[in-house]
Chain A
């Protein structure tokens, strides 16, 4: 069965960096984009960006440009998300999610997240 298992909770000081892992299993790792979505306490969902595990191509939202780096290790089926220059507003649960694509009436549609990691709480506090 498909699983995305994330690394554990982190506590960081302002200005530091955090690197979260997301280990995939149960499917062909290089066939699906992995996205990162975060959720601040009591708030909604915010898309951060994506990586394609096959070639490593990435796309980040402007809000995180220059601070976020997504990488992958195809030998361990693991995707990483590193966020730097942390501030208190970065305190959130960070999720990885697998994007799927399916044919509907002969046309392939993608862009939806069918499997999610369990989430990693990152707390930024001095």
Chain B
């Protein structure tokens, strides 16, 4: 199975900060990497698919990058509604797997 490791597991940041979350796969997954945002008690929401494509309706302050084994999710200017947990997800090979999550908290 492909393991996905996110870093950091949590971070504290202020409104307006630039935030970058990384996700590393244990083997190459090409561009089959997606990012989701989840708020407490809610279903995950797709932000980025195929490493760098922005899902419709998602603000342009979110961006994704990387390929192979190393990927990033960047929020260019953190907004109050961005405080949530973020998950990466590989769909290169089954079983599909998720990172353990990165919780973004208010500083």
Chain A residues at the B interface, C-beta cutoff of 8 Å: 35, 37, 44-47, 59, 61-63, 95, 97, 100, 102, 104, 109-114, 116-119
A109 touches B97 (CB 8 A): no
Report the contact-size class of chain B (Cβ under 8 Å from the partner).
20 to 34
Residue from A44, A104, A109, A116 within 8 A of B99 (CB atoms): A44
A109 touches B31 (CB 8 A): yes
B32 at the interface (CB under 8 A from A): yes
B49 at the interface (CB under 8 A from A): yes
Q: Contacts of A109 on B, CB cut-off 8 Å?
A: 31-32, 49-50
Main secondary structure of the interface of A (DSSP, over half): strand
A111 touches B100 (CB 8 A): no
A44 touches B98 (CB 8 A): yes
Chain B residues at the A interface, C-beta cutoff of 8 Å: 31-32, 34, 36, 43-46, 49-50, 53, 55, 87, 89, 91-92, 94-101
Which of B50, B96, B97, B101 has the largest count of A CB atoms less than 10 A from its CB? B96
Tell me, in angstroms, the Cα distance from A113 to B92 when the chains sit together. 14
B43 touches A119 (CB 8 A): yes
Q: A109-B49, A109-B50, A111-B34 are in contact. Are A116 and B43 (CB under 8 A)?
A: yes
Q: A104-B50, A117-B43 are in contact. Are A111 and B95 (CB under 8 A)?
A: no
B34 touches A46 (CB 8 A): no
CB distance from A24 to the nearest CB of B (A): 14
18 A-B residue pairings within 8 Å (CB atoms)? A45-B89, A47-B98, A62-B95, A95-B43, A95-B44, A97-B44, A100-B49, A104-B50, A111-B32, A111-B50, A111-B96, A112-B50, A112-B91, A113-B34, A113-B89, A116-B43, A116-B44, A116-B45
